[in-house]
Amino acid sequence: MPPLARPLLENTHARRLFLHRHELGTHPKGHGRGEDLLDLIRRLGFIQVDSVNTLARAHDMILFARRPAYRPSHLAPLIERDRHLFEHWTHDAAIIPIDFLPYIRLRFVRDAARMQARWPRWQGEAFLAELQQVRAHVTERGDVCSADLKSAEAEKSTGWWDWHPSKAALEYLWRSGEMAISRRQNFRKYYNLVERVHGHPEILPDETCLNWLNSAALERLGFATSGEIAAFWDIATPTEARQWCQSESAAGRLEEIDVENADGSIRRAFARPCVAQEAATLSEVPARLRVLSPFDPALRDRNRAERLFGFRYRIEIFVPESKREYGYYVFPLLERDRLVGRIDMKADRAAGVLNITRLWPERGVAFGAGRRQRLEAELDRVARFAGVERVAFGPDWLAEPK
């Protein structure tokens, strides 16, 4: 008897499901503060933090794309006053709901084991003494930033990343869970003992943590390979994620499906049972055009975005200007379930202007009157969000599709 065919998730339905799971599948609404904002971040899992501010910081752009009423001042109270969110590491620096801390704590344990083996070699024999001095300083004085600890004798370190020893010690203590980021001031991080910031996180068995992490990753991705599940939080190893998928499949809680890519090819993935049927019933993604952060959760896995949407995106910040294909920090444009282009723009706050340098439509996408109207409406919203009064288009702002 031939084996049963795997359920097929057509590309249109796969894109729709993926965008719904990333909170981009419906009309953006909500006041974007307090419980509404916290609930959004819980559903996303986390939001990435990045320091580039040509328009707004990445975490603010991520939230604005889903809550146009959101403003950056809405986030800090949830982190620094209410302690409903905390800042730590997933695949990169991120803001995470405090409810998830008992599970994320597994990362602290694993990072501590890795760092105990490596960091003293990187930082030299004096590193362990430096750790103790930093612990004592924070215990006695409370919130500190790395600049508070930098000594005149250590203006330049020969250690990892050229950090001075106290900066390396703070980072070590934060990554291993002894310290927490208590607040930011002008984007500078201040640290304190974790129990002063978050109390004493519950200690859970590794198996409980891994089950939650893998399940929560798949819930937010909709469908994924075991490698993509592991990469979501970057805590479970690929082997642990693969074993979890096998165990859940044997118990009937997962099934293998075929996912159609944008080019018609097929990729096998894991999903909860009946996810293909669920995707077929979801509402269409609204026509509203949205500017996305380069670090948006829907785009952070560049290879996955390319397979699903046929949209190849790379950050070119570190590429010499003469070798850039597009620009320094280019924003993808989402319309319905398609990524229709990318735009190079920058807020000139002194002049009160959002300068549009260039827009590159995707192949086969025309920016006619209707699409331009939707673009202009979105750029007006973005300008207000960035704190400028008007939008200015450069002389050759609309490029030919590549």
Give the pLDDT confidence of 18-31 residue by residue, as tens digits.
999 999 999 998 99
Q: What is the pLDDT of residue 163?
A: 53
Q: What is the pLDDT of residue 147?
A: 82
User: 212 or 164: which carries more pLDDT confidence?
Assistant: 212
Q: Is the pLDDT of residue 155 over 70?
A: no
Neighbours of 14 (CB within 10 A): 27
User: 52 or 246: which carries more pLDDT confidence?
Assistant: 246
Q: What is the pLDDT of residue 150?
A: 66
Q: Is the pLDDT of residue 90 over 90?
A: yes
Residue length, the chain?
402
Q: What is the pLDDT of residue 220?
A: 98
Q: What is the pLDDT of residue 2?
A: 53
Q: What is the pLDDT of residue 3?
A: 59
Residues of the chain with pLDDT > 90, as a percent, come to 81
Q: Is the pLDDT of residue 128 over 80?
A: no
Q: What is the pLDDT of residue 119?
A: 67
Q: What is the pLDDT of residue 117?
A: 78
Split at pLDDT 50, 70, 90, the class of 164 is: low
> Could you identify the residue written with the tokens 């049972």?
273
**Do the two domains 99-152+162-198 and 289-393 of this chain adopt the same fold?**
no
Q: What is the pLDDT of residue 165?
A: 72
331-355 mean pLDDT = 97
Question: How do the domains of the chain map onto residue ranges?
Answer: 99-152+162-198, 289-393
Neighbours of 154 (CB within 10 A): 17
Q: Is the pLDDT of residue 125 over 70?
A: no
Collect all residues with Cβ–Cβ distance below 8 Å to 366 and sequence separation of at least 6.
none
Give the pLDDT confidence of 28-85 residue by residue, as tens digits.
989 999 999 999 999 999 999 988 999 999 999 999 999 999 999 999 999 999 999 9
Provide the phi-psi class of 51: left if phi over 0, else alpha when psi is between -120 and 50, else beta. alpha
Give the type of residue at 127: F
H/E stretch holding 63 reads helix 58-66
Q: What is the pLDDT of residue 120?
A: 65
Q: Is-contact 216 45, C-beta < 8 A?
A: yes
Q: Is the pLDDT of residue 158 over 80?
A: no
Split at pLDDT 50, 70, 90, the class of 118 is: confident
pTM over 0.75: yes
CATH numeric code, 289-393: 3.40.630
Q: Is-contact 383 354, C-beta < 8 A?
A: yes
Assign 3-state DSSP to the chain and report helix, strand, coil percentages, each to 5.
45, 20, 35
106-128 mean pLDDT = 79
Give the pLDDT confidence of 177-213 residue by residue, as tens digits.
999 999 999 889 999 999 999 999 899 999 999 999 9
CA dihedral for 166, 171, 174, 177, sign (positive or negative): negative
Q: What is the mean pLDDT of the chain?
A: 92
Q: Is domain 99-152+162-198 given the CATH code 1.20.1070 in the classification?
A: no
Q: How far apart are CA 295 and CA 48, in angstroms?
A: 7
399 is written with which tokens? Answer: 């490029």
User: 368 or 169: which carries more pLDDT confidence?
Assistant: 368
